[in-house]
Structure 1
Amino acid sequence: MSSGSTGAVLLLLAFSLLACLCLHYVSRLESGPVRWVHDEQRELSAHQRLVYEAAGRQNTSGRAVHPQTSGVYGDRECTMAPEARFDCGRDRSLTRGECEGRGCCYAPLAGSAGPPWCFYPRLYPGYTMGPLTPTARGQTASLTRRQPSYLPRDVSSLRLEVTEETAGCLHLTLKDAASQRYEVHLPGGIPESRADNQSVLYATEYRSDPFGFIVRRRSNGRVIMNTTVAPLLFADQYLQLSTTLASSLVSGLGEHYTSILLDLNWTSLTLWNRDMAPHADANLYGSHPFYVVQEDDGFAHGVFLLNSNAIEVMLQPAPALTWVSTGGILDLYIFLGPDAHSVIRQYLSIIGRPMMPPYWSLGFHLCRWGYTTSNTTRRVAQRMHDANLPLDVQWNDLDYANKRRVFTFDPWRFGDLPETVDGFHQRGMKYILILDPGISSTGAPGTYPPFDDGLKRDVFIKNATGGILIGKVWPGPTAFPDFTNPETRQWWEDCIRAFYAKVPVDGLWIDMNEPASFVQGSVEGCPDSDLENPPYTPKVVGGRLNSGTLCMSAQQKASSHYNLHNLYGLTEAHATHSALLAVRRKRPFVLSRSSYPGIGRFSGVWTGDVRSDWEQLRLSVPAVLQFGLFGVPLVGADVCGFEGDTTEELCVRWMQLGAFYPFMRNHNDKPNAPQEPYVFGQKAQAAMRTALNLRYSLLPFLYTLFHHAHTSADTVARPLFMEFPTDPNCQTIDRQFLWGSSLLISPVLEPGAVELAAYLPAGTWYSLHDGRPFYSGGQYLLLEAPLDTINVHVREGHVIPQQEPALTTTASRGNPFFLTVALSAGGWARGDLFWDDGESLDTFETQNYCYVVFIAGQSQVVSEPVDLNGALDGLVLGGLQVFGVPSPPRFVLANGEEVRDVTYRADTEVLTVTNLALPMSEVFTVQWAL
Structure 2
Amino acid sequence: MQGTDTIRRLQWRERDGRLQLALGEHILLDSSRGPLASVGRGQASVAMYRGNFDISDSPTEVTELAAARLDGNAVLLAELQGGEPLLALTLADHPHADGVLEVRSLRADLDRIWLRLSATEDENLWGGGEQMSYLRLNGRRFPMWTSEPGVGRDKSDPFTQAMDAAGNAGGDYWTTNYPQPTFLSSRGYAVHADVSSYSVLDFIDAAGPTLELWQGQATIEFTAAPTLVELVSRLSIRFGRQPPLPDWAIGGAIVGLKEGQRSFERLDRIIAAGASISALWCEDWAGIRETSFGRRLFWNWTWNAARYPDLPRRIKELRERGVRFMAYANPYLAVDGTLYREAAALGHLALAPSSDEPYAVDFGEFDAGVVDFTRDESRRWFADRVLGRELLDIGIDGWMADFGEYLPTDVRLASGEDPMRAHNRWPVLWAEVNDQALRSRGRRGDALFFMRAGFSGVQAHCPLLWAGDQSVDFSRHDGINTVITAALSAGLVGNAYSHSDCGGYTSLGGKVRTAELMMRWCELAAFAPVMRTHEGNRPDENLQVDSTPELLACFAAWSRVHAALAPYVRHLCDQAVATGLPAQRPLFLHYPDDPDCAGIQDQYLYGEDLLVAPVVEEGATGRRVYLPEGDWVHVWNGSPAAPGWTDAAAPLGSPPVYHRRGSTFAGLFGSLPAALAGAA
- TM score, norm. by length of structure 2: 0.80
Residues 687 and 494 of structure 1, relative CA distance in 2, 3 Å threshold: closer
Structure 2: distance between partners of 1:32 and 1:301: 12
Report the secondary structure of 1:251's partner residue: strand
**1:290-334, Cα deviation, whole Å (9 max, x unpaired):** 111213xxxx22111111111122222424221112226321111
**1:813-832, Cα deviation, whole Å (9 max, x unpaired):** xxxxx6458xxxxxxxxxxx
Residues 411 and 147 of structure 1, relative CA distance in 2, 3 Å threshold: farther
Structure 2: distance between partners of 1:793 and 1:258: 25
Q: Is the 8 A contact 1:570 1:595 kept in 2?
A: yes
| Counterpart residue type for residue 576 of structure 2 | A
Report the secondary structure of 2:203's partner residue: strand
Asked if 1:462 corresponds to 2:320, the answer is no
Q: 1:634 Cα deviation (Å)?
A: 1.9
Residues 503 and 737 of structure 1, relative CA distance in 2, 3 Å threshold: same
Alignment partner for residue 471 of structure 2, among 611, 615, 622? 611
Residue 702 of structure 1 is matched in structure 2 by 569
| Counterpart residue type for residue 501 of structure 2 | D
Alignment partner for residue 800 of structure 1, among 652, 665, 670? 665
Residue 181 of structure 2 is matched in structure 1 by 289
**1:153-174, Cα deviation, whole Å (9 max, x unpaired):** x9946472421646x7222222
Structure 2: distance between partners of 1:479 and 1:758: 49
Residues 597 and 503 of structure 1, relative CA distance in 2, 3 Å threshold: same
Asked if 1:162 corresponds to 2:92, the answer is yes
Residue 216 of structure 1 is matched in structure 2 by none
Asked if 1:638 corresponds to 2:505, the answer is no
Alignment partner for residue 488 of structure 2, among 613, 622, 625? 625
Residue 406 of structure 1 is matched in structure 2 by 300
The aligned runs of 1:342-353 (5 Å cut-off) are 342-353=230-241
Residues 556 and 356 of structure 1, relative CA distance in 2, 3 Å threshold: farther
Residue 546 of structure 2 is matched in structure 1 by 678
Residues 44 and 331 of structure 1, relative CA distance in 2, 3 Å threshold: closer
Asked if 1:769 corresponds to 2:629, the answer is no
| Counterpart residue type for residue 160 of structure 1 | T
Q: 1:380 Cα deviation (Å)?
A: 2.5
Report the secondary structure of 2:380's partner residue: helix
Segments of structure 2 that go 5 or more residues without pairing to the other structure are 1-5, 44-59, 155-171, 290-297, 673-678
Asked if 1:238 corresponds to 2:112, the answer is yes
| Counterpart residue type for residue 131 of structure 1 | G
Alignment partner for residue 131 of structure 2, among 224, 247, 256? 256
Q: 1:453 Cα deviation (Å)?
A: 4.0
Asked if 1:417 corresponds to 2:311, the answer is yes
Q: Is the 8 A contact 1:800 1:819 kept in 2?
A: yes
Residue 745 of structure 1 is matched in structure 2 by 612
Residue 454 of structure 2 is matched in structure 1 by 595
| Counterpart residue type for residue 149 of structure 2 | M
Structure 2: distance between partners of 1:155 and 1:511: 46
The aligned runs of 1:307-326 (5 Å cut-off) are 307-326=195-214
Structure 2: distance between partners of 1:248 and 1:510: 37
Residues 466 and 648 of structure 1, relative CA distance in 2, 3 Å threshold: same
Asked if 1:485 corresponds to 2:375, the answer is yes
Structure 1: distance between partners of 2:18 and 2:273: 71
Asked if 1:506 corresponds to 2:373, the answer is no
Q: Is the 8 A contact 1:463 1:551 kept in 2?
A: no
Q: Is the 8 A contact 1:360 1:392 kept in 2?
A: yes
Q: 1:554 Cα deviation (Å)?
A: 2.4
**1:618-642, Cα deviation, whole Å (9 max, x unpaired):** 2221111111112122212211111
Residue 159 of structure 2 is matched in structure 1 by none
Residue 55 of structure 2 is matched in structure 1 by none
The aligned runs of 1:329-344 (5 Å cut-off) are 329-344=217-232
Q: Is the 8 A contact 1:161 1:174 kept in 2?
A: no
Asked if 1:131 corresponds to 2:5, the answer is no
Residue 267 of structure 2 is matched in structure 1 by 381
Structure 1: distance between partners of 2:231 and 2:286: 43
Residue 277 of structure 1 is matched in structure 2 by 150
Residue 413 of structure 2 is matched in structure 1 by 555
Q: 1:372 Cα deviation (Å)?
A: 3.7
Structure 2: distance between partners of 1:702 and 1:457: 44
Structure 1: distance between partners of 2:416 and 2:576: 31
Segments of structure 1 that go 5 or more residues without pairing to the other structure are 1-28, 53-76, 93-100, 105-119, 133-140, 180-234, 516-548, 802-817, 822-879, 882-913, 916-930
Residue 306 of structure 1 is matched in structure 2 by 194
Q: 1:255 Cα deviation (Å)?
A: 3.6
The aligned runs of 1:46-85 (5 Å cut-off) are none
| Counterpart residue type for residue 711 of structure 1 | A
| Counterpart residue type for residue 124 of structure 2 | L
Q: Is the 8 A contact 1:402 1:410 kept in 2?
A: no
Residues 676 and 391 of structure 1, relative CA distance in 2, 3 Å threshold: farther
Q: 1:659 Cα deviation (Å)?
A: 0.9
| Counterpart residue type for residue 724 of structure 1 | Y
Report the secondary structure of 2:131's partner residue: coil
Q: Which moved more, 1:648-657 or 1:455-464?
A: 455-464
Residues 322 and 711 of structure 1, relative CA distance in 2, 3 Å threshold: same
Q: Is the 8 A contact 1:239 1:330 kept in 2?
A: no
Structure 2: distance between partners of 1:719 and 1:556: 42
Structure 1: distance between partners of 2:241 and 2:440: 21
Structure 1: distance between partners of 2:470 and 2:117: 34
Residues 90 and 719 of structure 1, relative CA distance in 2, 3 Å threshold: farther
Higher relative contact order (CA 8 A, sep 6+): 2
Structure 2: distance between partners of 1:386 and 1:466: 57
| Counterpart residue type for residue 278 of structure 2 | D
Q: Report how many aligned residue pairs link the two structures.
A: 609
Aligned-CA RMSD value: 3.8
Report the secondary structure of 1:701's partner residue: helix
Residues 30 and 400 of structure 1, relative CA distance in 2, 3 Å threshold: closer
Structure 1: distance between partners of 2:443 and 2:209: 46
Asked if 1:733 corresponds to 2:625, the answer is no
Q: 1:745 Cα deviation (Å)?
A: 0.8
Q: Is the 8 A contact 1:239 1:324 kept in 2?
A: yes
| Counterpart residue type for residue 116 of structure 2 | S
Q: Is the 8 A contact 1:661 1:717 kept in 2?
A: yes
**1:336-375, Cα deviation, whole Å (9 max, x unpaired):** 122111111111221111222212222312225xx242x1
Alignment partner for residue 431 of structure 1, among 325, 335, 345? 325
Structure 2: distance between partners of 1:90 and 1:787: 56
**1:779-828, Cα deviation, whole Å (9 max, x unpaired):** 11232222121222111332118xxxxxxxxxxxxxxxx6458xxxxxxx
Residues 321 and 708 of structure 1, relative CA distance in 2, 3 Å threshold: same
Q: 1:474 Cα deviation (Å)?
A: 6.5
Residue 103 of structure 2 is matched in structure 1 by 174
Residues 172 and 582 of structure 1, relative CA distance in 2, 3 Å threshold: same
Structure 2: distance between partners of 1:103 and 1:239: 9
Residues 90 and 40 of structure 1, relative CA distance in 2, 3 Å threshold: farther
| Counterpart residue type for residue 522 of structure 2 | M
Alignment partner for residue 758 of structure 1, among 625, 646, 660? 625
**1:73-117, Cα deviation, whole Å (9 max, x unpaired):** xxxx9x99xxx999999979xxxxxxxx9798xxxxxxxxxxxxx
Residue 189 of structure 1 is matched in structure 2 by none
Residue 367 of structure 1 is matched in structure 2 by 256
Q: Is the 8 A contact 1:248 1:317 kept in 2?
A: no
Residue 65 of structure 1 is matched in structure 2 by none
Q: 1:501 Cα deviation (Å)?
A: 6.8
Q: 1:414 Cα deviation (Å)?
A: 2.5
Residues 174 and 499 of structure 1, relative CA distance in 2, 3 Å threshold: same
Q: 1:145 Cα deviation (Å)?
A: 5.1
Residue 535 of structure 2 is matched in structure 1 by 668
